[in-house]
Every structure is written in C-alpha cells, then in structure tokens.
Amino acid sequence: MTENQIKEAFHEIKADDTLKQQTLKAIFSKQTKKRPSLTKLVLTTALLLIAGVGGIFSYTVPVYAISLDEDASIELYVNMYQKVVSVTTYDTTLTTSVNNLGYTEAVTSILDSNQFSYKNVVITVAGNDQEGCQKMIQNLQHCNQNCMANASYNTVANEMIAQAKECDMSLGKYNIYIMLKEMDPTITLEEAQNMTMQEMHQRMGKGMGKMMTQSN
C-alpha cells in the first residue's frame, strides 16, 4: 500500500488520534527500513558487473613478452594469469595456435614444431616485474624438453618491447643488436634487420676478438 492509502484507511478506524499517529509513524518507519535492500541489491549487481568486465579486461592485457629467436622470430605476449593472449611473428608463419595456452606449453609447442633447431634458439623475456621474468626463465629451463636445455636465455627491461617494435624487430633480436652496437658502432639498423641471429652472434664474436686483441 502507498502512504496515502494507509492514511485513508486509518481515518475509518475509531481510536485516539495520538495512538493513530504513533501507529502510522511505526508503519512508515518499517517501510523506510526495507527500501535500502533494493539499493543494496542494485549496488551488488553493479559491483559484480564491474568485476566481471575488469576480469575480462585483465585477461587480454599482456604483462610479459617472450621472444623466440633463431633464423626466424616469434614473440608471445603473456597476461597476468600466465596465458598467451597474442602472438607476433617475424620472417615466419606460426603453424600452430598457442593462444590461451600457458606460456611453457606454448613455447614447447612452438619449439617442437620444427620451426627452430634445438641448439641455436634464444629465449628472451621482458616485463615490469623482473622477479617474475626470472621465474618464467626458471620454469622454462626446468621443462623436460631437449630444446629447453640447449636454449640461451635472457631477461631485458620492459621498455625494450616498445623500442624493438619501433625498429620492426623482435625483442630478442633487438637486444642482440643493442649489444652488438656497443661492440661495433658501424653496424646499422638495416643491416641488423637483415641478419639472422646466428650471423649477429658471429659478428659479436669477431667484435669481442678484436677488442681482446686491442687490449693486448
């Protein structure tokens, strides 16, 4: 009943006016106390919706990058739940889908697909949390896979992901280019883009040999 309907019904009742007023006040007080329950339900529903949307958003946001580099390069982007959410390839086409796989399973799947050899692959991990990057490296090293045991591993600063993209290079290859540039300032970005990881390592070896000769 509405407030007006309740008041009209009370006019028909023969009782002391003071008693009527006290009774009406008690009824309206109880109705007022019940109203917040609807508000509470609406707020709870809104919070659940926000939490759901937030969960979906956080799932799609990468917080780590894993670069697999040899003659070709594949870069995996991993979310806070340790799942692969996107992939970028350089000089190759990924022959198997790894989206939504855990990163160790994804890396194993790629390295087992014969797109990389076991001996020369370089695995580079970047992210805001360096402790998390190191843990990812350890988890990959402990996989019971021949390819994992023979791979080379690096961790780099998170900002290098964007720098590598600007140079149209994978994270791992860009990291080697930066190191090579320090040894041999004559190397150009275009040269590095057209070199394989093996060629870059060979050039680094020559640069180190030259530096050792000069120091003697």
pLDDT of residue 14: 45
Rounded CA-CA distance 66/170 in Å is 10
The span from the CA of 76 to the CA of 199, in Å, is 23
Lowest mean pLDDT among 29-33, 66-70, 170-174: 29-33
Runs of H (alpha helix) within 90-196: 103-111, 130-141, 146-150, 160-166, 171-183, 189-193
pLDDT tens digits, one per residue of 31-61: 554 455 666 665 666 555 555 545 565 788 9
Q: Which residue has the tokens 């992901």?
A: 161
**Residue with the larger pLDDT of the pair 89 and 94:** 89
- Note if the pTM is more than 0.75: no
Q: Write out pLDDT tens, residues 4-19.
A: 554 454 455 444 555 5
